[in-house]
């Protein structure tokens, strides 16, 4: 995305006040860590005998793994949305399903935690103007135009694509009118060969501008204070204050990987140990030339003491030191992004996510509940906009987050079963709450079980 060119249009031609361009350069830093390769850190060089060798550090890409972890905690397949009005709720859920909302919320949440902000933009996308479409916009394509505190009232959103075989960039500009309605403009640009932008006519199937009764965009961020730039209404990456820890993780991982490579068996031998002269007068290999453990050190070494030799040149692999250091850095990183200190475990040369119940991790639970508030507000706004576009009665959306990650269901099930055995808890309710049966089927199973109770062999005749 050509951020500076878009900045020029919005600031110089449209005279909007914008967030400092330096903030978007910070987003670029977060994005490079999200991708897992940071040129200034992962690319380096060493001098070996007067020769400069270029090297690339190995990366575990924990920035992305941390954001994936948060996205899966906050919005997954077990989350849903209910409504206080049945008809409006059914309509809204149908529109959300057509927009693949569940999947895209998870993806946008991951991007928002990586780059600091995400936005939902809603617009009419049908012949009758009654069916809504939703765009999912990452932080580097969001341009606040007016704001009060952290509340963005006016905003532009950028996107890219191909139109008539040409690369284009489009802007959706939302500005609030004095009566509270919104003027929405669609502006299109063609990307020139030199990278510049030329304004072009809006496609025939897209309105160049129109008015919406209510707000059609909703911005959300990780629910943490932006301590990178004061007064900016955009959020901050969840790992913005953990860059040094990410560096330490990759240094430890790269060190372990390098030590593993250097620690493989190496045996130095003199040339006269690798070959012998056959009766035919030709030299024949004693060792397999593809055996990477054997190194021919040449004839010069063969003259050492006038005798052939074999020397073990292997370097001991300090596995425990590197793995302990790596686990320590993973614990620090996990804590720094709000996941507690044991979210990631180094196991058998890879990182695994811990299966600890969130309810047992109080710091993670508090952080999760805080982030859910921000995401829930955005989801409610999206649903209200979908209903307004569809012309149906307003019905408040109620996001239902996955509670299985905050509960130890196995322990709850065992406790409930002990109550069933003690006669303090209905068997049918246990089947519904812990085994997934509906009530009618559970009651039928309970009745059948009661009829098949064996006679007490110790009862009096």
The residue ranges of every structural domain in the chain are: 3-240+364-400, 243-357, 408-451
pLDDT of 16 higher than 90: yes
Buried b (16+ CB within 10 A) or exposed e, 374-400: bbbebbbbbbbbbbbbbebeebebebe
Q: How confident is the model at residue 5 (pLDDT cuts 50, 70, 90)?
A: confident
User: Strand 267-269 vs strand 294-296: parallel, antiparallel, or unpaired?
Assistant: parallel
∠ at Cα 312 (46, 278), nearest 5°?
Answer: 110
Average the pLDDT over each of 3-17, 199-213, 307-321, 398-412 and give the range with the smallest value. Answer: 307-321
The answer to whether 10 and 18 are in contact (CB under 8 A) is yes
Mean per-residue pLDDT, 283-302: 62
Mean per-residue pLDDT, 127-140: 88
Average the pLDDT over each of 23-27, 175-179, 264-268 and give the range with the smallest value. Answer: 264-268
Mean per-residue pLDDT, 174-185: 95
- Look at 65 and 127; give whichever has higher pLDDT: 65
Residue ranges with strand state E in 130-165: 132-138, 142-148, 151-163
Mean per-residue pLDDT, 138-147: 96
pLDDT of 117 higher than 70: yes
pLDDT of 28 higher than 80: yes
Mean per-residue pLDDT, 368-376: 95
Mean per-residue pLDDT, 154-165: 92
pLDDT of 457 higher than 50: no
Mean per-residue pLDDT, 144-161: 94
**The pTM is what?**
0.79
Phi, psi torsion values for 43, nearest 5 degrees: -100, 125
**CA 44, 48, 51, 53 torsion: positive or negative?**
negative
pLDDT of 226 higher than 90: yes
Mean per-residue pLDDT, 224-233: 91
**pLDDT for position 58:** 92
Nearest to residue 14, comparing CAs of 183, 148, 139? 183
**pLDDT for position 104:** 97
Q: What is the mean pLDDT of the chain?
A: 85
Which residues lie across from 136 on neighbouring strands?
Answer: 120
**pLDDT for position 302:** 47
Q: How confident is the model at residue 458 (pLDDT cuts 50, 70, 90)?
A: very low
pLDDT of 418 higher than 60: yes
Distance linking the first and last C-alpha atoms of the chain? 88
Percent of the chain with pLDDT over 70: 79
Length of the chain: 461
Q: How confident is the model at residue 459 (pLDDT cuts 50, 70, 90)?
A: very low
pLDDT digits (tens, 9 = 90+) for 314-344: 666 666 777 888 999 999 999 999 998 888 8
Count the Cβ atoms, other than its own, within 10 Å of residue 446: 16
Mean per-residue pLDDT, 190-218: 89
- Look at 301 and 82; give whichever has higher pLDDT: 82
Q: Diameter of the chain by CA atoms?
A: 105
**Which whole-number Å values give the CA distances from 349 to 203, 247, 317, in the listed order?**
52, 18, 14
**pLDDT for position 46:** 83
């Amino acid at each position: 995305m050509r951020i500076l060119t878009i900045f020029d249009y919005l600031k110089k031609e449209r005279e909007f006040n914008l967030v400092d361009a330096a903030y978007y350069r910070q987003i670029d830093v977060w994005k490079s860590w999200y991708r897992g390769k940071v040129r200034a850190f992962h690319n380096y060089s060493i001098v070996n005998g007067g020769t400069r060798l270029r090297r690339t550090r190995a990366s575990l890409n924990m920035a992305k793994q941390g954001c994936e972890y948060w996205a899966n905690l906050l919005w997954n397949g077990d989350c849903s949305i209910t409504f206080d009005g049945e008809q409006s709720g059914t309509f809204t859920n149908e529109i959300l399903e057509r927009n693949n909302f569940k999947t895209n919320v998870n993806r946008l949440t991951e991007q928002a935690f990586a780059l600091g902000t995400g936005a939902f933009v809603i617009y009419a996308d049908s012949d009758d103007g009654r069916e809504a479409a939703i765009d999912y916009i990452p932080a580097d394509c969001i341009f606040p135009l007016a704001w009060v505190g952290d509340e963005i009232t006016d905003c532009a959103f950028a996107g890219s694509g191909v139109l008539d075989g040409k690369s284009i960039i489009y802007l959706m500009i939302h500005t609030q009118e004095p009566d509270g309605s919104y003027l929405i403009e669609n502006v299109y640009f063609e990307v020139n060969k030199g990278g510049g932008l030329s304004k072009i006519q809006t496609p025939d199937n897209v309105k160049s501008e129109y008015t919406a009764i209510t707000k059609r965009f909703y911005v959300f961020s990780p629910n943490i204070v932006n301590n990178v730039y004061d007064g900016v209404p955009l959020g901050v990456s969840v790992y913005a204050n953990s860059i040094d820890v990410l560096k330490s993780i990759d240094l430890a991982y790269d060190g372990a990987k390098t030590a593993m490579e250097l620690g493989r068996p190496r045996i130095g031998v003199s040339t006269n140990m690798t070959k012998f002269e056959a009766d035919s007068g030709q030299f024949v290999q004693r060792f397999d030339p593809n055996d990477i453990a054997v190194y021919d050190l040449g004839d010069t070494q063969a003259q050492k003491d006038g005798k052939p030799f074999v020397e073990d040149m292997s370097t001991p692999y300090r596995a425990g030191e590197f793995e302990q250091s790596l686990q320590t850095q993973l614990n620090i990183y996990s804590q720094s992004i709000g996941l507690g200190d044991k979210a990631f475990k180094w196991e058998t040369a890879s990182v695994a996510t811990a299966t600890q119940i969130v309810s047992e991790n109080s710091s993670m639970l508090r952080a999760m509940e805080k982030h859910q508030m921000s995401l829930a507000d955005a989801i409610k706004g999206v649903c209200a906009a979908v209903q307004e576009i569809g012309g149906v009665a307003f019905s408040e959306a109620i996001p239902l987050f996955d509670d299985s990650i905050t509960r130890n269901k196995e322990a709850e099930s065992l406790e409930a079963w002990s109550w069933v055995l003690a006669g303090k808890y209905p068997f049918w309710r246990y089947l519904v709450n812990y085994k997934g049966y509906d009530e009618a089927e559970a009651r039928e199973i309970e009745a059948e079980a009661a009829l098949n109770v064996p006679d007490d062999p110790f009862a009096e005749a």
